[in-house]
């Protein structure tokens, strides 16, 4: 059955791979599943046809036969459950990998998104100068804890898993802030994720769309 995902017609990041279709592309590349991409404009994302797929009018979505999904956590989890390569066979290791997916999305991503909001969307507000150090502090708190847990390991729990895919995807959003480099083992962890052949294919495919003239 054909898999179709949605992505920005043109991502606001200009092809840096930060739009969340990249993590879904990456998961599909890791498990070797071909897919098609339907590009949507910001306007189309808020229209009934897209809202029927995604109640919040966002990308990415995932369609396969009669199934339509939204939320990258659910999409990557679905892909990882259906195809070998992203979740360990051992039941406990599998549960731990899933835990890391949730940790990436529920515990690590929120302060990182908050930092993006403070810097980009609220950068011109008079109170941002006072607020920014607080937000950065919350990001550093999480990174310090994550860095301590990762230690010298390559991945969060044994072999690369969907948990790492999601964590690396989330941490990538921090690169431009410079904060990631304060934690050399996390910077190296992200670089290991980016060095995977599947990530490179996913990144190149989204870049081809978002850097076209």
Ligand X SMILES: N[C@@H](CCC(=O)N[C@@H](CS)C(=O)NCC(=O)O)C(=O)O
Which residues contribute to the site for ligand X (CB under 6 A)?
Answer: 19-20, 45, 57-59, 71-72
Residue 183 or 203: the one with the smaller Cβ distance to ligand X is: 203
Distance of CA 156 to the CA centre of its chain: 16
Q: Strand 36-40 to strand 67-70: parallel, antiparallel, or no bridges (unpaired)?
A: unpaired
Residue 14 or 133: the one with the smaller Cβ distance to ligand X is: 14
Residue 45 or 150: the one with the smaller Cβ distance to ligand X is: 45
Q: Using CB positions, name the residue nearest to ligand X.
A: 58
Closest alpha carbon to 50 in 105, 2, 7: 7
How far is 113 from 115, CA to CA, in rounded Å?
5
Residue 22 or 161: the one with the smaller Cβ distance to ligand X is: 22
How far is 158 from 151, CA to CA, in rounded Å?
12
Q: Are 166 and 176 in contact (CB under 8 A)?
A: no
């Amino acid at each position: 059955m054909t898999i179709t995902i949605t992505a920005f017609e043109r991502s606001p990041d200009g092809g840096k791979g930060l739009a969340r279709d990249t993590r879904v592309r990456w998961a599909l590349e890791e498990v070797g599943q071909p897919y098609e991409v339907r590009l949507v404009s910001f306007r189309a994302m808020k229209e009934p046809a897209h809202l029927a797929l995604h109640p919040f009018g966002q990308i990415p979505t995932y369609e396969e036969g009669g199934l339509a999904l939204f939320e990258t956590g659910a999409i990557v989890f679905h892909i990882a459950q259906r195809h070998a390569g992203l979740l360990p066979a051992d039941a406990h290791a599998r549960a731990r990998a899933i835990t890391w997916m949730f940790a990436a999305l529920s515990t690590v991503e929120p302060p990182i998104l908050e930092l993006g909001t403070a810097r980009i969307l609220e950068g011109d507000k008079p109170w941002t100068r006072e607020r920014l150090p607080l937000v950065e502090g919350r990001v550093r708190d999480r990174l310090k804890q994550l860095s301590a847990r990762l230690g010298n390991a390559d991945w969060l729990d044994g072999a690369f898993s969907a948990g790492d895919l999601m964590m690396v995807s989330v941490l990538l959003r921090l690169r431009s802030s410079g904060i990631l480099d304060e934690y050399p083992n996390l910077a190296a962890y992200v670089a290991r994720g980016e060095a995977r052949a599947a990530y490179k294919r996913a990144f190149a495919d989204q870049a081809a769309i978002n850097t076209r003239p």
